Amino acid sequence: KAGVTQTPRYLIKTRGQQVTLSCSPISGHRSVSWYQQTPGQGLQFLFEYFSETQRNKGNFPGRFSGRQFSNSRSEMNVSTLELGDSALYLCASSYDSYEQYFGPGTRLTVT
């Protein structure tokens, strides 16, 4: 069974631009969660999608948004990028509310 995949793996953007990251969950998993990891704040929950609906949301500004498609693939979008958005973005998939499996992450650098 293929694991969680994330694309792209690395990304460099300029301040003020927007970016879209993609996550493909493990086959059969309906839940996709997104996390931001930075050296200063550690791992923080962004949001979770379950069956195309946002089920939970963390404490991030509205510049961070996401969606989930009918095949459970998910995208997250960050608009008007700031230097502080530089981070490793991880997505995790789960079959309902159980063990979460993480992808390799997308390393975003904002210059």
Partner 1 sequence: KQEVTQIPAALSVPEGENLVLNCSFTDSAIYNLQWFRQDPGKGLTSLLLIQSSQREQTSGRLNASLDKSSGRSTLYIAASQPGDSATYLCAVSRQTGANNLFFGTGTRLTVIP
Binding site for partner 1 (CB under 8 A): 4, 31, 33, 35, 42-45, 48, 50, 55-56, 58, 88, 90, 92, 94, 97-105, 107
Residue 42 backbone phi and psi in degrees, to 5: 70, -150
Reported for 52-59, long-range contacts at CB under 8 A and 24+ positions apart, including other chains, are: 55/31
Judged by CB, which is closer to partner 1: 105, or 110? 105
Tokens of 48: 């979770």
What is the closest distance, in whole angstroms, from the C-beta atom of residue 54 to partner 1 in the complex?
A: 11
What is the closest distance, in whole angstroms, from the C-beta atom of residue 21 to partner 1 in the complex?
A: 13
Task: List the 64-68 sheet strands across, edge first.
Answer: 5-7, 19-24, 74-78, 64-68
What is the closest distance, in whole angstroms, from the C-beta atom of residue 49 to partner 1 in the complex?
A: 9
Judged by CB, which is closer to partner 1: 58, or 79? 58
Judged by CB, which is closer to partner 1: 81, or 90? 90
Judged by CB, which is closer to partner 1: 78, or 105? 105
Cα–Cα distance for residue pair 14/83, rounded to 1 Å: 8
β-bridge mates for residue 21, sequence order: 76
